[in-house]
Structure 1
Amino acid sequence: MQRVLVMGSSGSGKSTFARRLSEMTGIPFVSLDALYWKPGWVASDNAEFGQRVAEVARQPQWVMDGNYTRHGAGELRRHSSDTVIWFDLPRRSCMFGIMKRIAGSYGNVRPEMAEGCPERIDFEFFRYVWTYRRQQRPKLLDYFQGLRADQSLVCFTDRAQANDYLREIAFRQKRASIH
């Protein structure tokens, strides 16, 4: 794994996973939210955002957290990645995840967010997560159809699978360091 896309619904645990994977492997972490949002929750222009993402996607290594498949150099990211990790969790898990996140970081800027974008209560965002499986999931499934045979797609349907995956990576790293 050198170029890893971590995708799925907000609240699924993908950002936490991506940061942990980055820390374990030493591969740089990239948050698409941090590249997209400007202070005060102002959205970037699509061309500007696409240019920023393209610069990062051309780097030799990254763990990239976020979807943004329709803009933000989505095709380049898919083509450049060697691994796609997909958090395909149920709605209740994602809704619980965002409620827990808001409760724990309300008013503060999370590590994967752009400066000047503190955690807040946003009913449009709640609706996005609530309707994610019906409206956004099919778009990701279409996006994954463009993966090549030499690219890996790893799907987690619960957070325990993601934690097991990270434990397996840690185990392999420990074994490799012994030999």
Structure 2
Amino acid sequence: MRVLLFGNSGSGKSTLARRLAREHGLVHLDLDSVVWEPDQIAVQRDAQAILASLEAFLHAHDRWVIEGCYGELVRAASGHCTELVFLNPGLETCLAHNRQRPWEPHKYASKEAQDAMLENLQAWVSDYYERKDPWSYHAHRQIFDAFSGRKRECLDRFTDANHWSPGSA
């Protein structure tokens, strides 16, 4: 089982990925951990290093769940997944989830540092449906629509994603 979850920030990717990892014994990769420089806020690693880290993970593990918003990495990993899941619960849900987000110590030195970035995050999330970058709805929709394997779009996180298991209809 190799599940690839993607969508906007706040769509429920991390929550669902942790649940799937726990319930199915999958290795979990949050793409944030390969994209950003450790112990730095919003400092992206070199593109070749990012791709090399993803490829190393894919080759090292047979059973995994990968989650993130990075269209170029989702596209690269999609050839290795057994199921692609697009979490798309809508803008208001994503914004609400971001406001309720617990401290993420793997990303921020403190809850205060994380909260200081919330306004920037919310502005970026709000532009999801208008942007045309690789981390946008436009890019995510193209990836999902072009994927020919098993796939699912979850429009309502609570009814779709919480009661879903890989391989189910």
**Which TM-score band (shorter chain)?**
0.7 to 0.9
2:123 is aligned with 1:121 = no
Q: Which runs of 5+ in 1 are unaligned?
A: 170-179
Q: Which runs of 5+ in 2 are unaligned?
A: none
Provide the residue aligned with 2:156 in structure 1: 158
Q: Which digits, 9 at most, give the CA deviation of each residue in 1:3-54, with x for residues without a partner?
A: 1111111111110101101100001111101122221222211111111011
Identity %: 22
**TM-score w.r.t. structure 2 length?**
0.82
Provide the residue aligned with 1:65 in structure 2: 67
Q: Which digits, 9 at most, give the CA deviation of each residue in 1:64-117, with x for residues without a partner?
A: 0102122x4x4430111110111111111000000011xx42xx51xxx45758
Three-state SS of the structure 1 residue aligned to 2:86 is strand
TM-fit CA distance, 1:144 = 2.0
Distance in 2 between the 1:115 and 1:124 partners?
14
Provide the residue aligned with 1:45 in structure 2: 46
Distance in 2 between the 1:163 and 1:146 partners?
25
Root mean square deviation of aligned Cα:
2.1
Deviates more, 1:90-99 or 1:136-145: 136-145
Provide the residue aligned with 2:83 in structure 1: 83
Q: Flag the structure with larger Rg.
A: 1
Distance in 2 between the 1:125 and 1:78 partners?
26
**TM-score w.r.t. structure 1 length?**
0.78
Q: How many residues align?
A: 156
Structure 1 moving runs of 4+ over 4 Å = 114-118
The answer to whether the 8 A contact 1:11-1:97 is kept is yes
Distance in 2 between the 1:40 and 1:34 partners?
11
| Structure with the higher helix share, 1 or 2 | 1
Distance in 2 between the 1:165 and 1:121 partners?
34
Provide the residue aligned with 1:94 in structure 2: 94
